[in-house]
Amino acid sequence: MRVRLIGLPTDSHSSFLRGAAEGPAAIRAALGSDHSNMTAECGLELRKDILVEDIGDLPLQEDADDPARIGEAVTAAARDGAMPISLGGDHMVTGPIVAALAVVHGPLNILHVDAHPDLYADFDGDPLSHASPFARIMEAGHARRLVQFGIRTMNAHCRAQAERFGVEVIEMRDFAPERVPIPEAPLYISIDLDGFDPAFAPGVAHHEPGGLSSREVLQVLHRVRGPIVGADIVELHPGRDVNGVTATLAAKLVKELAALAAKETL
Give me the residues that bind Mn ion (CB under 5 A), please. 91, 114-116, 118, 192, 194
Question: Smallest distance from the beta carbon of 168 to Mn ion, in angstroms?
Answer: 17
CB 212 within 8 A of CB 150: yes
Question: Smallest distance from the beta carbon of 147 to Mn ion, in angstroms?
Answer: 15
Q: Give the span between the Cα atoms of 50 and 54, in whole angstroms.
A: 13
CB 217 within 8 A of CB 113: yes
Nearer to Mn ion, 75 or 190 (CB): 190
Half-sphere exposure of 260 (CA within 13 A, CB side): 27
CB 149 within 8 A of CB 113: yes
Query: What CA–CA distances, in Å, run from 191 to 43, 100, 110, 221, 266?
Result: 22, 18, 10, 11, 24
Nearer to Mn ion, 28 or 91 (CB): 91
Write the single-letter amino acid at 12.
Answer: S
Nearer to Mn ion, 114 or 216 (CB): 114
CA 135 to chain centre: 16
Question: Smallest distance from the beta carbon of 194 to Mn ion, in angstroms?
Answer: 4
Q: Report the run of H or E that residue 70 belongs to, with start and end.
A: helix 66-79
CA 16 to chain centre: 19
Question: Smallest distance from the beta carbon of 190 to Mn ion, in angstroms?
Answer: 8
Nearer to Mn ion, 52 or 131 (CB): 131
Question: Smallest distance from the beta carbon of 265 to Mn ion, in angstroms?
Answer: 31
Nearer to Mn ion, 118 or 262 (CB): 118
